[in-house]
Chains A and B, each alone.
Chain A
Amino acid sequence: MQIHHHRYDAVIVGAGGAGLRAAIEVAGHCRVAVLSKLHPTRSHTGAAQGGMCAALANVEEDSAEWHTFDTVKGGDYLVDQTAARIMCAEAVDAVIELEHYGLPFNRTPDGRIDQRRFGGHTRNHGEAPVRRACYSADRTGHMILQTLYQQCVQRGATFFDEFMALDVALVDGRVAGVVAYELATGDLHVFATKALLFATGGFGKMFKVSSNAHALTGDGPGLLYRRGIPLQDMEFFQFHPTGIYKLGILLSEAARGEGGILRNADGERFMERYAPTVKDLAPRDMVSRAMLTEVREGRGMGPDRDYLHLDLTHLPPEQIDAKLPDIADFVRTYQGLEPKTDLIPIQPTAHYAMGGIPTNIEAEVVLDAEGTTMAGLYAAGECACVSVHGANRLGTNSLLDIVVFGRRGGRAMASFVAGAEQAPLPAGVEGDVRSRIEAMKSGAGGEKVALVRTELQARMMDLASVFRTDTTLGEMAGVLGELRERYGNVSIDDTGSVFNSDLTEALELGYLLDLADALVVSARARTESRGAHFRDDHPKRDDIAWMRHTLVHREPDGPPRLSYKPVDGGLYQPLERKY
């Protein structure tokens, strides 16, 4: 194993939408390197389908204020309202900028960017659904990822493809560098840098049924957590209502935005009972709960009565071809069904982490309730928690988040490095990573990574997903204890240096276990139900006790420690959430 040394002004870890958008902002201002454990265009931004909301008002009246209100209400009032106001205000500019970069949005007859409906996005504070989502068929994320990568290529940004970040050097309260593992060679690379932005995406692979890519193992939050950075609001994990049954592959909410309907075993449009005004276009947390309530009450489909149907059969076939071509193909490929004539078996699928690395509106990582920052450390996108999504993210707001806060993070980083010196990087910062890798390669306990991971995913799905109680979370805490012990006994087959994915999978599992622990501890403490966090034993929202963000801190010995941080309110008072 060789050690290579590099020096940059700024390093970005992760090359999905947030990382690439930050890179565009930094490139040309200073020396920047972008590290990604995948080739950039493999990033999971590319799997986003339905759209990116912005109050362009191209097709009907709309305003950024309405968008802000919907975002705050959709997040069950745990949203930091200044951050949401900024995101919704900058959304318009962000969409226009993407168009200028060449993004092929669908168009209106007069050539403007077309817009469509999406869950939880409404006219005038909840009156009716509004057409706010700008889109490119049902591959909006693909087009955003491609377009941002094209812009980075044009600017000559420096990429280190298939470099997996494994540790950071934080010295005297500031960033000094990052340590990465090169997949092709097994060598370690130490990057000295003044500024470091994490944009590593989510960690949905801790659940059995998930829309997330295999790569989404929370490496960024995981490695920072181990270095003492707290994580925020980890108990809020979104389950998307329309995952392909058993596989979890996402079928965009745009399917319902275009008129699709959810039906139970009786053929009933059950969302009429749960959300009489917006029905199938209620926010995702409510729809997923409604679906699983139907299943609990015996109105699910199939031999195990555990799935429901998405019905697109009443839509004009040409509308499916034009607006939903990719998801129609997923149904054909993976279910052998024809969405124009067949009902589609679906179940909620683990989709999005609202929580993550706490940041402020400049994407600077914050360490406590007072907003103390660490000089040079930034995070943006799903791995971050700014918090614009609060307890439940609205559809399309993730693509918006990555573009707006990727840009803000890049801008803040560029201005920071202009006035900052490189912090001295101690010799041997790669030592911990080297020992971890060597320990993993020489592990003789005989435990298999895949078995531990499968058990983690299955038990998290059963005990800590859409419905939770103190009992289920307590049980999961016990399971995690056992799994961590088993993880300590893992052996891998591949002890080589070249493209050792046996090793990287084992390292990734370590992060998933830590983050699952953070989630369970945070969720067990929050004795209320809010957004995506629903406690059967505490089914009401409790604003007096719980209108606050959770911060979970990893303790070297013993269980994680919790502290809390106030919500930035002010624009909207919390109301009961009805749709």
Chain B
Amino acid sequence: MLPPDTLNVRLRVKRYNPEVDRKPHWQSFVVEGMESTDRVLDLLHQAKWFQDGTLTFRRSCAHGVCGSDAMMINGENALACQVLLADAGSDITVEAIRGLPVIKDLVVDMAPFFAQYRSVLPWLIPGPDDPGYGERRQSPDQRERFDDTTKCILCAACTTSCPVFWTNGSYVGPAAIVQAHRFLFDSRDEGAADRLEILGDRTGVWRCRTAFNCTNACPRGIKVTEAIQEVKRTILVRAV
């Protein structure tokens, strides 16, 4: 392992505190002595802990599995704990993800996002057969079929990168479709009829214009657009 480079970073954060501000404004921080292997989350922590404690953002696991710290970094949605300074550079802008109401600084109201999640019936709807005391059988191929969409951590990076969602908040959005996909292609699930009716509705998959922003934004590397296309095809096939 090579020793990391040391760098001084100019961090610009779009800030908004409803108790003080009438509208959002940009604030600049200069954080010295960072290392190229540090994460943007480390940078935010340095700014908060040692320069301005009012700087506010969510975070928890700090390694890309909990989904707390989705934000727009240099204009693209990402998890702050997954972007290294080596990649983000020494002049970094950070703002809240778009399309959800800002509570404060980088913290948005996730309630509309989770409401969309709940709307697609995100739980296994099994068939009527009682599996008894044993596991249901599922072949490795059947399991593989929906593997990609099981990775979703509900960070909202995809949904809040979607131009359709920005203009129409009633669109169910890529994350909810990913969640539905995870069950639609699970051989054990028989809730397709209900879920497809919801997703085939005016606020469902047909809103998608395949901009691919969601796929680019996904910190888990899920092929989100492809999943949405698969759901569209399933609706069409069933309609015939």
To the question of whether A and B form a pair in one complex, the answer is: yes
Residues of A within 8 A of B (CB): 38-39, 41-44, 46-47, 93, 95-96, 99-102, 104-113, 136-137, 139, 142-143, 146, 150-151, 153-154, 161, 184, 213-215, 245, 247, 249, 302-303, 326, 329-330, 333-337, 345, 448-450, 492-494, 496-502
Which of A96, A108, A450, A493 meets B54, CB within 8 Å? Answer: A493
The verdict on A448 contacting B49 (CB below 8 Å), with A498-B17, A498-B103 known, is: yes
Q: Are A102 and B188 in contact (CB under 8 A)?
A: yes
A150 touches B54 (CB 8 A): no
In angstroms, Cα B188 to Cα A529, docked, is 49
CB distance from B44 to the nearest CB of A (A): 11
Nearest-CB distance from A92 to chain B (Å)? 9
For B103-135 the 0/1 string (1 means CB < 8 A from A) is 111010110001000100111101000010111
28 of the cross-chain contacts (CB-CB < 8 Å) are: A41-B66, A41-B67, A42-B61, A42-B66, A42-B67, A44-B60, A46-B61, A47-B61, A96-B133, A100-B135, A100-B136, A102-B123, A102-B189, A104-B146, A107-B142, A112-B135, A137-B147, A150-B123, A154-B123, A214-B59, A214-B61, A302-B1, A333-B82, A334-B37, A336-B86, A337-B1, A494-B53, A498-B103
In the bound complex, residues from chain B placing their C-beta under 8 Å from that of A93 are 133
B202 lies within 8 A of chain A by Cβ: no
Q: A104-B147, A153-B118 are in contact. Are A497 and B137 (CB under 8 A)?
A: no
Other-chain contact of A345, B1, B3, B52, B60 (Cβ < 8 Å): B1
- The CA-CA distance from A108 to B142 in the complex, in Å, is 11
A46-B153, A100-B126, A104-B146 are contacts. A110–B1 as well, Cβ < 8 Å?
Answer: no
Q: Is B150 an interface residue (CB 8 A)?
A: yes
Given contacts A143-B150, A213-B60, A302-B1, contact A47 B66 (CB under 8 A): yes
B19 to A330, Cβ gap below 8 A?
A: no
Across-interface contacts of A46 in B (CB, < 8 A): 61, 65-66, 153
A residues within 8 A CB of B63? 47, 247, 249, 330, 334
CB 8 Å contact bits of B134-145 with A (1 = contact, 0 = none) = 111111101100
Q: Tell me if B154 counts as interface (CB < 8 A to partner A).
A: yes
A569 to B216, CA, bound (A): 55
In the bound complex, how far is the Cα of B37 from the Cα of A55, in angstroms?
42
* Bound CA span A262–B126, Å: 43
Contacts of A330 in B (CB 8 A): 63-64
**Which B residues are within 8 Å of any A CB, using their own CB?**
1, 3, 17-20, 37, 45, 48-50, 52-54, 56-68, 82, 84, 86, 103-105, 107, 109-110, 114, 118, 121-124, 126, 131, 133-140, 142-143, 146-147, 150-151, 153-154, 183, 186, 188-189, 221
In the bound complex, how far is the Cα of B124 from the Cα of A492, in angstroms? 46
Instruction: Say yes or no: A215 contacts B17, CB within 8 Å.
Output: no
**Neighbouring B residues of A101 by C-beta, 8 Å:** 123-124
Considering the complex, give the chain B residue whose CB is closest to the CB of A499: B104
B19 to chain A: which residues have CB within 8 Å? 496-498
Residues of A within 8 A of B49 (CB): 448-450
Q: Complex Cα distance A174/B193, Å?
A: 49
Distance in Å: Cβ of B52 to nearest Cβ of chain A? 6
In the complex, the answer to whether A100 meets B131 with C-beta atoms within 8 Å is yes
Distance (whole angstroms) from the CB of B98 to the closest CB of chain A:
18
Chain A residue contacts of B57, Cβ below 8 A = 501
- B135 contacts across to A, CB distance below 8 A: 95-96, 99-100, 105, 112-113
With contact pairs A107-B143, A150-B123 given, residues A448 and B50 touching in the complex (Cβ less than 8 Å) = yes
Chain B's nearest CB lies how many Å from the CB of A485? 20
For the complex, give the distance between the alpha carbons of A101 and B140 in Å.
Answer: 18
CB distance from B219 to the nearest CB of A (A): 10
A335 contacts across to B, CB distance below 8 A: 1
CA of A136 to CA of B58 in the docked complex: distance in angstroms?
27
A143 CB contacts on chain B under 8 angstroms: 150
Shortest A96–chain B CB gap in Å is 6
Could you say which residues of chain B place their CB within 8 Å of the CB of A100? Answer: 126, 131, 135-136
Contacts of B186 in A (CB 8 A): 102, 104
Cβ A333 vs Cβ B84 within 8 A: yes
Q: Please tell me if the beta carbons of A496 and B65 are within 8 angstroms of each other in the complex.
A: no
B147 touches A42 (CB 8 A): no
A213-B18 in contact (CB<8A): no
Q: Closest CB of chain A to B63's CB: distance in Å? A: 5
Q: Within the complex, what minimum Cβ distance (angstroms) separates B110 from chain A?
A: 6
- With A101-B124, A502-B53 given, name 7 new contacts (CB 8 A): A38-B68, A107-B140, A111-B138, A139-B65, A150-B122, A449-B53, A497-B19
Collect the chain B residues with CB atoms within 8 Å of residue A153's CB.
Answer: 118, 122-123
- Cβ contact within 8 Å between A333 and B189: no
7 tightest CB-CB pairs across the interface, nearest first?
A102-B124, A493-B53, A111-B137, A450-B49, A502-B53, A150-B123, A494-B54
Q: Across the interface, which residues of B come within 8 angstroms of A106, CB to CB?
A: 140, 143
Let me know if B153 and A107 touch, CB within 8 A. Answer: no
Residues of A contacting B104 in the complex (Cβ-Cβ under 8 angstroms): 498-499
Cross-chain contact of B150 among A42, A136, A303, A492 (Cβ < 8 A): A136
If A100-B131, A142-B65, A333-B84 touch, whether A39 touches B107 (CB-CB below 8 Å) is no
Q: How far is the CA of A139 from the CA of B66 in the complex (A)?
A: 12
Bound complex: CA A108 to CA B138 (Å): 9
Contacts A96-B133, A450-B49; A39 near B114 (Cβ below 8 A): yes
CA distance A303 to B3 in the complex (A): 10
